Structure 1
């Protein structure tokens, strides 16, 4: 990277008129603020309410934290480029954005597997749940998700950092993604492309198979529940996670299981916007809508904030 003749990239982003870019900026800004507020709300609820100090909600709180990190890597720069005249980013900054984005994305895959495992233990082995999924063990699983992501991304991170860029320097995307970077490299990218392809298939399909295996066992356990109420209650504990998994993997598979340098980028932009901007806002809404404990915790938190204020005004 020190020998690259290119010192910065131009993020082409969205080819729209200035007025449309302003409208898009307002829409994305509102979505981003809602994403921060919704995910921060879940983190605060899990931290403040002792009834939510369980593995299921610890995983959900960390998932919300990961969503905040996930969007913070790309969305602020995208918003700045929509209304700014300068849409450049340094080579080092671009590669750093790619690294952190990949780290958050990989960790989200492993965390979704961990959440599926938590539901598997809760439904298939309810009597042993407390002994298996303790809070300490849950924290170890969360740390393992980050550790596995760091280790698995070490080789592709090194290969991307050693790419040579000599021009042109225009990235046809709104963030520094793997394929556009390879397309601009002057060096042979076969090894980097091969490593990325293998890693994408292993992480995406491997995690998806683990989640599918968990839900096959969960469905089998739910079928064997004698009462219809028990079946509905068991299914409701998995419905939110299953919906989030479906949305997340539907978009990720569309993009990252076709990682060719010459793949058309324009068709991926809309899908990228969906899973980078829209999905992190939908996830906390999905979980809150389907979870009665979270709704009750939110009501109690609002009451604890407003009640002392109301009593003070009366005095």
Structure 2
């Protein structure tokens, strides 16, 4: 469970380059129009973001060391699309509940991805077992999902409302009211407790194992990301994180597995499903793709439909690779 040299340092450079570069642009981004803030989401459609899940149907064959066979591949693709269709039906039937569920699922999934990355980077010596790794995932997922909620509730509510309205135009107001009804102070206190418990537990284990390096690197990332999401507009910060942090780390996991470490080969494998997903999103949300924030909301619902089967695949990978239970 390691990242190859190029993926390791390239991934860290992209992730921290995106964070630090964005922080340097804070004054310019603070008053930037939505068209500028949405640029990471626009680019994510073809660069890193959407493509990071586009090779999911190939993963079971690669992990089992089996040759690619058309019949099983077709069945996997049908199951993948069927689950995505069920998700879209849920968005149509209960848009507010679906929007909240997507936020919580993303919290879990992005935390899940960072737990794998901590282990692959060798930064997990202070994580003693499954319970502490679950807490690590909760903390890491809270940074992109909860910090913007506490620091920028109005913008957060606008985006969640746009998601709820993608298939049900009347769903925006209920979703906005729900988000704005959460006191920022409660979110900040909850985050403080969560991160405080995590830091103290890590310090206890780190002292026992003399794992100060891994603890320091982990908490440095947590602190840096907390500032990143608190200071920058959510539309920008979450989009940058999606592309340059979460997606890159997942591709670093997939590269050696699916494409023998070749980024070029991996991008070629991802291209057909990426283009197909974009075509489906365009067809399903043709009426909703008006206005910049509304377009982001519709795009996020399309991503939600793909995220649920993607999470199933990643959870299966975690199980096979003993991410939560292995040493």
Same fold flag (TM > 0.5) = no
**TM-score (normalised: structure 2):** 0.35
**TM-score (normalised: structure 1):** 0.36
